[in-house]
Amino acid sequence: MTVSKIYMAAEGPQVSRLALGLWRLASWGLSDGELLDLIHAAMDLGITTFDHADIYGDYTCEALFGRALALEPSLRARMQLVTKCGIKLVSANRPTHVIQHYDTSKAHIVAAAENSLQMLQTDRLDLLLIHRPDPLMDPDEVAEAFTMLRHSGKVLHFGVSNFTPSQFELLASRLELTLVTNQVELSVQNMEVLHDGTVDQCLRLGISPMAWSPMGGGGLFRADTEQAERLRQALSAVGEALGDASVDQVALAWILAHPARIVPVLGTGKLERIQKAAQAEALALSREQWFSIWRASTGTDVP
């Protein structure tokens, strides 16, 4: 069984229902050949969408992935590359940065996209996201950058990350093209975007949000809190009822069950965990099971 594909929006890219996030790639200790093997294994499971950002690994992860992809360039036609820009870190790899800040100027967006293309060793990005809301964002200037990159064929689709509904609407109001996603934090431990209108907006617009940190950054397994303990018990009970599914599989299935067609971004480089995650799509939670996990997270019944 392989992970299914969906269209993020009516005019959006086709992506795998799970994405592999490369945030921690620099710490995985993989050679170029080993990373290529992992990419192959993920794609064999149907996970063809790879999530990057220019800043990941202190500005190194895109280049690491690009080196592996260069060993077998034909894989590019079968995958979707997502990356983000707009954050400037203080880093030895960016010696001109003197303070961590945001930059959504036209010049920076275009330059960042060009650099990501070079690092990833590709001629196009399937999806480029503004990484964080910028209080100095000029939506008309962002629109100019997006239009230039789209017309040049260097970026096929655009979206945002961590935007509130009003921030999303502001940028969308200046664009002729469609923003196809909002990548936000969502897990059984952190459900804020299900309450604040963010996911509701995606449903209204017919776009699929992406969920970063769908395992709560691993806190679901490590945290010594009442919420984490309640969740582990609830997820284990649901997993047992579904045929001995693991806690992490049920946590992913809980996100996948939402009608917004959310795309969780996996944060692991361990093949066995990726394989387990791929099996989560086959888990069908009942409403009662879904809400038992909700109750475990909030510590109370629904009103």
Burial string for 31-45 (b: 16+ CB within 10 Å, else e) reads: eeeebbebbeebbeb
Q: Which two tokens stand for residue 262?
A: 């959310």
CB 28 within 8 A of CB 269: yes
Catalytic machinery residues: 56
Q: Which two tokens stand for residue 31?
A: 């050679």
Q: How far apart are CA 84 and CA 265, in angstroms?
A: 14
* DSSP result, 212-271: E-TTGGGHHHH--SHHHHHHHHHHHHHHHHTTS--HHHHHHHHHHTSTT--EEEE----H
Whose structure tokens read 């962002």?
Answer: 142
CB 208 within 8 A of CB 277: no
CB 273 within 8 A of CB 248: yes
Q: How far apart are CA 63 and CA 103, in angstroms?
A: 21
Q: How far apart are CA 169 and CA 138, in angstroms?
A: 13
Q: What SS3 string covers 124-158?
A: CECEEEECCCCCCCCHHHHHHHHHHHHHCCCECCE
